[in-house]
Structure 1
Amino acid sequence: MKNKKQSSLFISYNGLTDPLGQSQILPYVIGLSKSGYEMSILSSEKRDRFKAKESEISSICKTHGIKWIPLFFHTSPPILAKYYDYISLKNKATNLYRENNYDIIHCRSFLAARIGAELKKKFNCKYLFDMRGFWVDERVDGGIWDLSSPFYRYAYKKYKKKEDYLVGYADGIVCLTEAGKIEIQKWKSYQPSVPITVIPCSADLELFSVVSEDEKILAKQLLGIKEGAFVLSYLGSLGTWYLLEEMLQLFNKIAEKYNEAVFLILTPDDPKIVYQSASKFGIDPSKLVITFAERKDVPIFMKASNVSVSFIKPAYSKIASSPTKLGELLSMGIPVICNQIGDVGLVLQQSGGGVLLPDFSNASYDFVIEQLPMLMELDSAEIRSNIYEYYSLDNAIKTYYHVYNKLLSS
């Protein structure tokens, strides 16, 4: 028997106990639940994080009337583990659909979309492909699939065909950037009658509040940084996509102009990665402050920043990316230096809160350094105000709500 409320099964290969699940999945689903939809989440959880966070996440879901169905994520044996996860999620989703007859299958990223397409084929339900990025091309651009290998060339062609099918069979598509939307509309597999909605990664505007001068002073004290020091900062992981050496090169040139410059790096990764790269450029280790903070404490430390930097590997797949950290930094009114990926250029133009690096040449670094006095004079409250609607969680939830309503009325 069909539920009184219209219902959605949200399928994600990311866990709710992952930091990403807590910042970029759960808030949207809570919002949709508050908007009147009966929400269920099928997720794939890492055992250590599940053990640490299961009680907290279960309580949040129960409070908001969300049914959470967690399965476990597997890492071994390689390749077969992913297939096992896929089969487990697919079988569970199929059984859940038979029990609940959902109105919408909301699929976060590629693997979940494969399941959503199969459910649509079997049960004729509405299937929403929430792309998050160009997953197949990210395998290549990130160096995970080496196309010089016959095996990975075969895999790339096979999965691009699957991507075409998933896009062409969707009842609705959500992507993170306008640049990504324009690109998808060029694909032969895309059906022009299918709506594509752009919903960038939201920022927690309450947590990432605008910086005050007192908070900046306190942050520097907590980090052991001199009050008058110029602080360049970086927030986040240092893995596949982030250009650590280029960011260190920029800092090295900044340190030539600002004698007491400090590079604050807030990362979960091993500090040795930074020190090893910094030694290539002769950077004094005492000028590096590398630490980790729990999410709730990130704004406390990042407010030591005069300017923040984020350089991401420029690649085809990155036109569909929306860096969460950009919204968090601009929400605090911290000016940023970025290279062009996705809609970053448009966001910086709209916010008036940063500079776009033309390329990674010395001339471009010099150009950016010339802009530093201007960046430090910017009004933090104005930067935040300019991007408030763009990164607002409430705005994103309203957009998802309209996407759901449009799907069910078609």
Structure 2
Amino acid sequence: MKNVLYLSYDGMTDPLGQSQVLPYLIGLSKKGFRFTLISFEKPDRYEPEKGKIEVLCIEHNILWKPLVYTKNPPVLSTILDIRKMRKTAFELHSEKHFQLVHCRSYISALVGLKLKREKGVRMLFDIRGFWADERVEGKIWNLGNPLFRIIYSYFKKKERTYLEESDAIVSLTEVGKREIVSWKLNTVTPEKIQVIPCCVDLNLFDPQKIDSDLLHQKKLEYHLKDKFVVGYVGSIGTWYQLREMLLAFKHITHLKRNAVFLFVTKESPSIIQTEAKELGIDPEVIRVVSVQHQKVPCFIALFDCSIFFIRPSFSKKASSPTKQGEIMAMGVPLICNAGVGDTDEIVQRYNAGLVLKDTSEASLSYFSLDFPDFDREKAISGAKEYFSLEKGVAGYFSLYDRFIG
């Protein structure tokens, strides 16, 4: 029996869990690996979504052990969650005798490292990004606060330990891999690091499968007929530059008098509307819709172009935006900024849209919507070549098979 423990501090009832965890586990389950999955679920999302996740897990022989995510009090709640994860993981190991522990990011790796040291379980460190630096650069941890300075220092030391003691490392980007290799850590060679970006289920994100009647219906429902639709998909949160995206849209309204901005997101519409109003954008041209992951492709198909801007920083070297593969797969030209992981290099390689050198007001006021280099078929084939779920599963399979094949 090829028993794998998968540890995630993200929830499976979150959109991220449904797009960036479960599809890989399902694909690997079909190749003979038996998964036990520990995740932390937010109570407001768990109740409405749990039935769907339970069915998926039962269908694919995945034993799901959801734990309750606690947010408050800060720091202490995370320590308590880590203890819950550790206790559950060790209890399950005594029953399942895991051969591999797959750790999604830094919190999970605390438990995975303990399993490796105490029980000899092989460890895969799936880095997902330079997490401690993300917390600082995203202004979640203020290093002026002595407590957060201690926590940051602790995780930066742990980062080196995870990289050195793990049996293999997964980086989302080539830029992130080069950065890690440049640190010249013991045992960390280029061969130890495999690059697997945030992949996309191309059976779901397939423009050929969009029902034209449904598309027409959505255009009528959201008053998009005869409009130039600028689209954004996904959460906004800490890193996505809402103000700059709205400024870019304001510029687009001068180029396309019929432009509307459609946000496909679970964010509160008031956050977007308030920011738009401050920039003098007519609220009538802003649309905000929240849909389940399965319905996102239909809404991307409504876009004439898509925008996403991410604040560049050191930690973003290791970031791979899920939305990039989804947009390219649907054959929609995208507008993004340089300096985030492999994003700009991929856009240019596959003629997938426009890369702005920065998101200064000057840059956001002068770009063209002609997309002279955009090649729809090349962008779609680029998504297949670089972001396909099958390729991602094959990448993980090669690592799993090396350790417990």
TM-score by length of 1: 0.92
The change in CA–CA distance for 1:120 and 1:343 in structure 2 (over 3 A counts) is: same
1:3-402 matches, within 5 Å, as: 5-189=1-185, 191-193=187-189, 195-210=192-207, 214=212, 218-227=217-226, 229-340=227-338, 341-368=340-367, 370=368, 372-374=369-371, 378-402=374-398
- 8 Å contact kept, 2:5–2:36: yes
Q: State the Cα distance separating 1:280 from its structure 2 match.
A: 2.4
Cα offsets for 1:178-201 (capped at 9, x unmatched): 111111112243523561011111
For residues 72 and 184 of structure 2, what CA distance do their matches in structure 1 show?
Answer: 36
For residues 38 and 360 of structure 2, what CA distance do their matches in structure 1 show?
Answer: 46
For residues 38 and 289 of structure 2, what CA distance do their matches in structure 1 show?
Answer: 34
| Structure 2 residue runs without a partner (length 5+) | none
The change in CA–CA distance for 1:139 and 1:190 in structure 2 (over 3 A counts) is: farther
Cα offsets for 1:116-161 (capped at 9, x unmatched): 1111110122111011111100110110011222332222112211
207-216 or 284-293: bigger deviation:
207-216
Determine what percentage of the aligned residue pairs are the same residue: 40
The change in CA–CA distance for 1:55 and 1:255 in structure 2 (over 3 A counts) is: closer
Q: State the Cα distance separating 1:214 from its structure 2 match.
A: 5.0
209-218 or 341-350: bigger deviation:
209-218
| Structure 1 residue runs without a partner (length 5+) | none
Equivalent position amino acid for 2:336 in 1: C
For residues 152 and 72 of structure 2, what CA distance do their matches in structure 1 show?
Answer: 22
Q: State the Cα distance separating 1:206 from its structure 2 match.
A: 1.8
The change in CA–CA distance for 1:286 and 1:51 in structure 2 (over 3 A counts) is: closer
Cα offsets for 1:61-108 (capped at 9, x unmatched): 222122222222222333221111101111111121122221111111
Equivalent position amino acid for 2:221 in 1: L
Consecutive aligned runs of 4 or more in structure 1 exceeding 6 Å deviation: none
The change in CA–CA distance for 1:90 and 1:310 in structure 2 (over 3 A counts) is: same
Cα offsets for 1:226-252 (capped at 9, x unmatched): 31x222111122211111111111111
- 8 Å contact kept, 2:164–2:188: no
Question: When the two structures are aligned, how many residues end up with a matched partner?
Answer: 401
The change in CA–CA distance for 1:56 and 1:286 in structure 2 (over 3 A counts) is: closer
213-222 or 299-308: bigger deviation:
213-222
For residues 317 and 342 of structure 2, what CA distance do their matches in structure 1 show?
Answer: 7
For residues 243 and 43 of structure 2, what CA distance do their matches in structure 1 show?
Answer: 34
332-341 or 95-104: bigger deviation:
95-104
The change in CA–CA distance for 1:364 and 1:48 in structure 2 (over 3 A counts) is: closer
116-125 or 294-303: bigger deviation:
294-303
Q: Aligned to 1:116, what secondary structure does the other structure show?
A: helix
The change in CA–CA distance for 1:58 and 1:274 in structure 2 (over 3 A counts) is: closer
236-245 or 358-367: bigger deviation:
358-367
Q: Aligned to 1:185, what secondary structure does the other structure show?
A: helix
- 8 Å contact kept, 2:351–2:375: no
- 8 Å contact kept, 1:165–1:189: no
- 8 Å contact kept, 1:223–1:301: no
Cα offsets for 1:334-389 (capped at 9, x unmatched): 01000120110121023211111111234423452x2x1236x9453442122212
Equivalent position amino acid for 2:360 in 1: S
Q: State the Cα distance separating 1:38 from its structure 2 match.
A: 1.8
For residues 186 and 224 of structure 2, what CA distance do their matches in structure 1 show?
Answer: 52
